[in-house]
Structure 1
Amino acid sequence: MFGRTVFTAADQTFLTDDLILAALSDGRWDVLRHHVRAALELDHARGGAQDPELDAASDQAAADFRYARDLISAEDTNAWLLARGLSVEDWYDALRRRHLEEEARARPIMPPAPPDPSDFLQSVWGEFVVSGMATELAELLARQAVAQALLPGEPPAPDPAALAEDLALVREHFPQLDAAEARTRLGRLMTLASAVSRLADVMLTPEALRKELEHRALDLVHLSCEVALFDDAPRAREAALCVREDGLSLAEAAEEAHTEAQEAELWIDELPPDLRTPLRSAGPGELLGPIAWEGQPALVYVHEKHRPTLDDPAVRDRVEQGLLDRLLQDRMETLVTWQLKF
């Protein structure tokens, strides 16, 4: 599990060690330890009893896992797992434990004090991989590393007290790791943690935000609406007539059709493509539909249509995040070289 290269960014190399240290530092590693211990104890308490439903669910999870990673053959799967420090048994056991997770999380079982025995540590590593946590942290670190590479000057030094606290955690959990190297890696992680916000301070100028808003103005419109879903199209059409011809509110028409109208704030850029055009062109007081909404006939009544402005905090947040995301994604494609994906 240690010492495997995950990616390089600019002139820096990131190992599986960095992912584990990041999880340890923010508390997620200890949460995993608790979940794994509880699931192991629960599995042991079952006494090896046959459970066809659990077996079927685990088999389906394994198939889904392989499909998502294009692991066609058993040989492909085995090679993928070995490259990430897992055996087929480690992997399948981790998938199986995840189906015990809801019941296991309710059990007041704490793992023993670290350091962990090697077999338990391997189980936690398996959970780290199959849960998606390794992927999440790898992508976060890559994003932070690219942000740091785009910043001018030297990065800030890590806080000595926080570094000492995290290093003590490493010594407690992973005494096999070299302390000097762990200190270096922890210091880098602490520096990277602020890289994206520091890049935002540099790049998100008023002029850049204004241009981004102009570019995305149509997609940043949002509507204050009521949405009613109906069991079938005839009921939706009848409700629409009640609103348009009889003057009922959508809430009243929906109630007559034995459903409810829900208040909703709809952002154009979050809608499915087939709904964006009709809602983008709708105005206040307009009833749309019946239209297909999440597989059901729906009516949408527009109360207010909000044009995007940087004075609106919600719009400003979306403009800032969109601009930053696009900048980092573009540079990640050129600055990051992946060796392992999870």
Structure 2
Amino acid sequence: MPGQIATADSLMTGSTFFRNAVEIWALMELTESTSGLDLVVCACGEQEYTARDAIDAAIFRGELDVKWKEFLHQVAAESRADELDLEADQSAISSAAEAFRYEYDLITAEETEAWLANRGLTLDDFADYLTREYYASTLQEEIIPDEIEYHAAEAELRQSFLAQLILSGELDRMTNDLIVRLAARCAGKELPPDAIVAEKQKFLHRNGLKSAQLADWLEQLKRDSNWLDEMLAMEIAYRKHCETLLVPEARQRELLALRLPLTRFETEVIEVESLDAAREALFCVREDGMSMEEVATE
């Protein structure tokens, strides 16, 4: 629905699947995972979902392409810097590393290394990420990256992209998007076949595909029609929950509850030497209609 945003909190609050969704978040924090795309990012019931699942779901929604192109631009910027024999400003990179550690409350180097290892990353991955970010933001010339499709990229490049998603926080956002759809799907009822068919048409239009191209598209992802049907069902369930929650009555209730926090007012203060002076200033404002600024300059 245009102009309406459903967050994980708004989707889950007051719903029958709130407890399950909380368990998903807890598992995402506590599950020890392997490296690469097999990194477990969340679980729903006994089903675990990996980084690959979150990324493929983003591809399904048409949301990965922008991030992939940004990553290729950074890779090209770093490559160009190497060609020019440029040296990175180590103080700038160190400052970026400190800002990252501060954001995630990583006090010591050991804590940072453990945080990375728990996500299948190394200190070299961290350094490479910061270096790419540095050159992409400082190289003063037009960069034209190679046109490489995500599914056609080499494994090493895709692994670097995964590190980029993790360290930039994008994988967390993709996981959150997957979680709210899983929660909606678990709480929803079975969908009629015609609803799946209609959603599939939206998917084909969104991705610029024809029905005859669908099998090849799934093959590129190494997915099957059952996976696609589940993605379609999750999207339908999520939209239905959004439509249920994001109605005028719900918005009005939320605004009423936030009336005091959203209230803003301005005050003007004049400091005077005595009570008599204060009374005179008050008289000028009330009776003569003078502004506080005018009274202050008298």
Give the structure-1-normalised TM-score: 0.54
Q: Which of 199, 217, 222 is the matching residue for 1:178?
A: 222
C-alpha separation in 1, matches of 2:61 and 2:138:
25
1:18 and 2:60 aligned = no
Structure 2: gaps of 5 or more residues: 1-35, 272-277
1:137-286 → structure 2 map (5 Å cutoff): 137-154=174-191, 156-157=195-196, 159-161=199-201, 162=203, 165=209, 175=220, 177-180=221-224, 183-201=225-243, 209=250, 213=253, 217=256, 219-220=258-259, 237-238=269-270, 245-246=284-285, 247=289, 253=293
Structure 1: gaps of 5 or more residues: 229-235, 258-342
1:1-342 → structure 2 map (5 Å cutoff): 1-46=36-81, 47-52=84-89, 55-102=90-137, 107-114=142-149, 115-154=152-191, 156-157=195-196, 159-161=199-201, 162=203, 165=209, 175=220, 177-180=221-224, 183-201=225-243, 209=250, 213=253, 217=256, 219-220=258-259, 237-238=269-270, 245-246=284-285, 247=289, 253=293
Given residue 39 of structure 2, which amino acid in structure 1 is its aligned partner? R
Please say if residues 88 and 135 of structure 2, whose CA atoms lie closer than 8 Å, have aligned partners that are also in contact.
no
Deviation at 1:6, TM superposition (A): 1.2
Deviation at 1:100, TM superposition (A): 3.7
Relative to total residues, which structure has the larger helix share, 1 or 2? 2
C-alpha separation in 1, matches of 2:118 and 2:64:
21
Seen in structure 2, the aligned counterparts of structure 1 residues 96 and 187 have a Cα distance that, compared at 3 Å, is: farther
Seen in structure 2, the aligned counterparts of structure 1 residues 106 and 157 have a Cα distance that, compared at 3 Å, is: farther
Please say if residues 35 and 101 of structure 1, whose CA atoms lie closer than 8 Å, have aligned partners that are also in contact.
no
Seen in structure 2, the aligned counterparts of structure 1 residues 105 and 128 have a Cα distance that, compared at 3 Å, is: farther
Seen in structure 2, the aligned counterparts of structure 1 residues 26 and 111 have a Cα distance that, compared at 3 Å, is: farther
Seen in structure 2, the aligned counterparts of structure 1 residues 184 and 59 have a Cα distance that, compared at 3 Å, is: farther
Q: Which residue pairs with 1:293 in the alignment?
A: none
C-alpha separation in 2, matches of 1:90 and 1:134:
15
C-alpha separation in 2, matches of 1:33 and 1:8:
25
Secondary structure, counterpart of 1:49 in structure 2: coil
C-alpha separation in 2, matches of 1:69 and 1:34:
26
Secondary structure, counterpart of 1:7 in structure 2: strand
Deviation at 1:144, TM superposition (A): 1.9
Please say if residues 191 and 233 of structure 2, whose CA atoms lie closer than 8 Å, have aligned partners that are also in contact.
no
C-alpha separation in 1, matches of 2:200 and 2:37:
25
C-alpha separation in 2, matches of 1:5 and 1:185:
18
Given residue 91 of structure 1, which amino acid in structure 2 is its aligned partner? F
Given residue 96 of structure 2, which amino acid in structure 1 is its aligned partner? A
C-alpha separation in 2, matches of 1:111 and 1:137:
25
Please say if residues 33 and 111 of structure 1, whose CA atoms lie closer than 8 Å, have aligned partners that are also in contact.
no
Seen in structure 2, the aligned counterparts of structure 1 residues 172 and 198 have a Cα distance that, compared at 3 Å, is: closer
Given residue 220 of structure 1, which amino acid in structure 2 is its aligned partner? R
Deviation at 1:140, TM superposition (A): 1.9
Q: Deviations over 1:15-69 (max 9, x none)?
A: 11122113323444322232222223322333343343xx223223323333443
Given residue 169 of structure 2, which amino acid in structure 1 is its aligned partner? G
Secondary structure, counterpart of 1:63 in structure 2: helix
Deviation at 1:7, TM superposition (A): 0.8
C-alpha separation in 1, matches of 2:101 and 2:258:
36
Secondary structure, counterpart of 1:152 in structure 2: coil
Give the structure-2-normalised TM-score: 0.60
User: What fraction of aligned residue pairs are identical, expressed as a percent?
Assistant: 21
Secondary structure, counterpart of 1:13 in structure 2: strand
Seen in structure 2, the aligned counterparts of structure 1 residues 101 and 60 have a Cα distance that, compared at 3 Å, is: same
Deviation at 1:136, TM superposition (A): 0.9
